[in-house]
């Protein structure tokens, strides 16, 4: 069965299919199952413990990095996956929060991850609180070498910025978009001065309007258990999920007047312009799409 899109942005780049440890113990006779671009995938580890992934009988180039399995569905040259140097830093806790299904375009999931304006309304009492609603001006840039988007000098008042935060702080954020379906957030660690914790969001597109969103924590954290860290992250994601699923159209409009943009939506505007320049079609609301 062909993949549901020919869009080179998606086909000629790495896409995640989930946590690498999900493949452990699986064999060709009892494979692990998932879906990608409207295809059924089966996966296992070979005798050398390498991940093997097949889509409808076709073996896909595969990468295991940052604790996840990535596959390449196209014919073009395979550029390297984005870098995440914090992953290898000693003392870091690496916590995969599991994949959560969301019925919307992956582009909406990424755009929400980049947005601060919803913190006081959707993540009340943790990431934001009325009346501290103002999104102070910040800046975005596209890195000339990597082509990635960065949003810098972001800050927002947060009553409880993370699971182990003890009180309200003016949290400093940096956002990064590595691919259309991958992004990262860098926020000041409550446990160590001068360093940032990283939250990675890696979206696995099942089709134009359904995804599995994987979240990776790369934190300095000595007190809390994995379960407690995951619980906090799931609380945040669980608050976003029904809002994401309620947005219409499900696919992201990249042009036109369907949705309003204000100065506080700078990262969203930058992201949409970046996607337009790449001529992204997958997960995009085109004028002819209902």
Q: Which residues bind other proteins (CB under 8 A)?
A: 19, 34, 96-101, 103, 116-118, 120-122, 124, 129-130, 133-135, 212, 225-228, 230-232, 234-239, 241-243, 245-249, 258-260, 262-264
Residues in the chain: 290
3-state secondary structure 8-48: HHHHCCEEEEEEHHHHCCCCCCCCEEEEECCEEEEEEECCC
Q: How far apart are CA 229 and CA 96, in angstroms?
A: 10
Neighbours of 129 (CB within 10 A): 18
Shortest Cβ 78–other proteins spacing (Å): 28
Shortest Cβ 195–other proteins spacing (Å): 25
Shortest Cβ 118–other proteins spacing (Å): 5
Q: Do 282 and 7 meet the contact criterion of CB atoms below 8 Å apart?
A: yes
CB closer to other proteins, 22 vs 184 = 22
Shortest Cβ 49–other proteins spacing (Å): 20
User: Which residues on adjacent β-strands are paired with residue 188?
Assistant: 196
CB closer to other proteins, 84 vs 100 = 100
CB closer to other proteins, 85 vs 290 = 290
User: Please, how many CA atoms are within 13 Å of residue 244, restricted to the half-sphere of its CB?
Assistant: 26
Q: How far apart are CA 269 and CA 118, in angstroms?
A: 16
Shortest Cβ 206–other proteins spacing (Å): 10
CB closer to other proteins, 30 vs 263 = 263
CB closer to other proteins, 13 vs 16 = 16
For residue 211, give the H/E element and its range.
Answer: strand 210-219
Q: How far apart are CA 116 and CA 263, in angstroms?
A: 13
User: Please, how many CA atoms are within 13 Å of residue 32, restricted to the half-sphere of its CB?
Assistant: 18
Shortest Cβ 184–other proteins spacing (Å): 20
| DSSP secondary structure of 220-250 | --SSS-HHHHHHHHHHHHHHHHHHHHH-SSS
CB closer to other proteins, 55 vs 148 = 55
CB closer to other proteins, 85 vs 256 = 256
Shortest Cβ 246–other proteins spacing (Å): 5
């Amino acid at each position: 069965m062909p993949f549901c899109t020919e869009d080179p942005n998606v086909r000629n780049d790495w896409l995640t299919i989930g946590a690498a440890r999900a493949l452990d113990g699986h064999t060709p006779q009892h494979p692990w199952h998932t879906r990608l671009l409207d295809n059924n995938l089966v996966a296992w580890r070979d005798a050398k413990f390498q991940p093997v992934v097949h889509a409808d009988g076709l073996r896909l180039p595969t990468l295991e990095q940052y604790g996840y399995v990535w596959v390449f569905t196209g014919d073009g040259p395979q550029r390297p996956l984005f870098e995440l140097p914090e992953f290898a830093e000693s003392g870091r806790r690496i916590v995969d929060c599991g994949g959560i299904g969301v019925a919307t375009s992956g582009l909406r999931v990424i755009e929400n991850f980049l947005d601060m304006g919803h913190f006081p309304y959707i993540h009340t009492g943790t990431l934001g609180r009325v009346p501290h609603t103002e999104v102070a001006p910040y800046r975005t840039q596209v890195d000339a070498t990597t082509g990635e988007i960065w949003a810098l000098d972001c800050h927002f008042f947060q009553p409880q910025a993370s699971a182990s935060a003890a009180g309200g702080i003016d949290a400093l954020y940096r956002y990064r978009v590595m691919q259309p379906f991958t992004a990262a957030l860098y926020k000041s660690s409550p446990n160590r001065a001068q360093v940032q914790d990283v939250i990675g969001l890696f979206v696995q597109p099942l089709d134009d309007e359904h995804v599995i969103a994987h979240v990776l924590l790369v934190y300095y954290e000595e007190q809390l258990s994995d379960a407690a860290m995951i619980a906090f992250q799931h609380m945040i994601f669980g608050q976003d999920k029904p809002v994401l699923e309620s947005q219409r159209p499900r696919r992201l409009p990249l042009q036109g007047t369907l949705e309003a943009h204000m100065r506080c939506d700078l990262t969203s505007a930058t992201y949409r312009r970046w996607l337009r320049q790449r001529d992204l079609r997958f997960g995009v609301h085109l004028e002819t799409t209902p």
